[in-house]
Amino acid sequence: MQTVHDKGARREIKVVQRVLKVNERMAEENRRRFAEKGVFVVNVMSSPGSGKTATLQKTLARLMPEVRAAVIVGDVSTTHDADRLAVTGAPVVQVNTDAFGGDCHLAAHVIEKAADDLDLEAIELLIVENVGNLVCPAEFDIGEDARVVVLSVTEGEDKPVKYPTMFRTCDAAILNKIDLLPHLDYDKEQAVAYIRQVNPAMPVFEISARTGAGMDAWIGWLREKIKSKLKAKS
């Protein structure tokens, strides 16, 4: 029985490796396509309930119309988040993964198809709001230029060390809901220290999507990234 189990495990590993390899090829195709159009793509990830959508609402409100932006929203079901983001005036494409098994992440081929519904010539920033999950989305390159993880103070301080791949592969972290700190038993310094433990060079933006506190630094970082992409195209 052990031998059969080992063979099964090896087959499973090979299948996973093959899936990831195909995804990597598609991600590179996406990256070339976005580069040709001069579109900066940011993959925003978090656990459910971190305030990711509220953060993106405030971000788009601050950037548009100066920055031409669009959004791809990933959820297992419903269009709730897409509806909220569409109010900003940005074109929004909804992807519901329950149509193909309820995947806990967006893969490169899904982004390719969703991008077909956008006029890439007319945008400079494409935000991908990934499915709420701190595990699966970190493992799938979608052809993005940058990855951002949103963590809220209503979650445990140890999330970065419990889910290190997510924080290790991201380019920036947003610590959201800081307006709630006076009402919580939450060690903000410890949370930031855990982030630094996993990814010492990653900037951490402490914000409140509800009040707008701390948004300037985050918006400034994003603007610089977009400018760099546009310069590279020209």
200 preceded by cis ω (within 30°)? no
Cβ neighbours of residue 195 under 8 Å, at least 6 residues apart?
Answer: 151, 160, 167, 173, 202, 204
pTM for the structure as a whole: 0.91
Q: Quick one: tokens of 220?
A: 């400034």
Number of Cβ atoms within 10 Å of the Cβ of 88: 17
How many domains is the chain built from? 1
Would you call 91 helix, strand, or coil by DSSP? Answer: coil
How would you write the pLDDT of the chain (234 residues) with one tens digit per residue?
Answer: 333 345 555 655 555 567 678 999 999 999 999 999 999 999 999 999 999 999 999 999 999 999 999 999 999 999 999 999 999 999 999 999 988 778 899 999 999 999 999 999 999 999 999 999 999 999 999 999 999 999 999 999 999 999 999 999 999 999 999 999 999 999 999 999 999 999 999 999 999 999 999 999 999 999 999 998 888 876
Q: What CATH number is given to the structural domain containing 175?
A: 3.40.50.300
What is the rounded distance in angstroms from the CA atom of residue 202 to the CA atom of residue 156? 19
- Give the count of alpha carbons within 13 A of 124, CB side only: 20
Closest CA to 50 of 138, 169, 149, 186: 149
- Contact (Cβ atoms closer than 8 angstroms) between residue 179 and residue 211: yes
